[in-house]
Structure 1
Amino acid sequence: MGNQNIGIKFNEDFKKMVVDLYGTGRKVKDLSSEYGVSEVTIYKWIKRYPPVKLEDGTPVAADDITKLQKQIRRLQEENEILKKAMAIFARK
């Protein structure tokens, strides 16, 4: 409990790496002592980045799902614009 890393910011890749290591069976206590991050913080990361597995077993983080949903919405909007443009050109 003697971690003195109060106020240190960890980047998203580091957080995901620690969560991935947890997903491989490593103990939170071991990860905490190895990387100098409190156990409470690691548990927060695990909650934030729960490993979701696809049909083929590939893990996907919640942030990745959010990014994919945004991309799908953008592509749907582009598709609608193209459909309207085709309708305009088909009339000519």
Structure 2
Amino acid sequence: MKHKNNGKRYNDDFRKMIVDLYDSGQSVRNLSSEYGVSEVTIYAWIKKLTPMDLEDGSSITPDDYAKLQKQMLKLQEENDILKKAMAIFAKK
């Protein structure tokens, strides 16, 4: 059953399915040959989609962690802008 994608764009469901198959015991080599995805790509998906355990017992994927960091930096920047605006309005 070949699922070759000539555009080299795979949707999130397909990536998750490949990672789930890997987690269930299939080898990367077999998944690569069966689905027409390079082994390097599969290893990248595994790294990106495999959850990390946190100290509080919950887990998060590296991808979600990166999104949260990006959001935090944006909020910090917005907060700094608001502080500067408050200082300007306080002087008036």
Q: Shift of the alpha carbon at 1:60?
A: 1.4
Q: How many residues align?
A: 85
1:5 maps to amino acid: K
Q: Shift of the alpha carbon at 1:38?
A: 5.8
Cα 1:73/1:61, change in 2 over 3 Å: same
Question: Is this contact kept in 2: 1:18–1:42, CA < 8 A?
Answer: yes
1:14 corresponding residue in structure 2: 14
Report the TM-score, using the length of structure 2 for normalisation.
Answer: 0.63
1:5 corresponding residue in structure 2: 4
Query: 1:84 & 1:15 partners in 2: Cα distance?
Result: 44
Q: Does 1:82 align with 2:77?
A: no
2:65 maps to amino acid: I
1:45 corresponding residue in structure 2: 45
Q: Shift of the alpha carbon at 1:18?
A: 4.1
2:35 maps to amino acid: V
Cα 1:26/1:55, change in 2 over 3 Å: same
Query: 1:55 & 1:17 partners in 2: Cα distance?
Result: 27
Q: Shift of the alpha carbon at 1:87?
A: 0.7
Report the TM-score, using the length of structure 1 for normalisation.
Answer: 0.63
Question: Is this contact kept in 1: 2:47–2:62, CA < 8 A?
Answer: no
Query: 1:3 & 1:11 partners in 2: Cα distance?
Result: 16
Give ranges in structure 2 of 5+ residues lacking alignment.
none
2:58 corresponding residue in structure 1: 58
Q: Shift of the alpha carbon at 1:28?
A: 1.9
Q: State the percentage of identical aligned residues.
A: 47
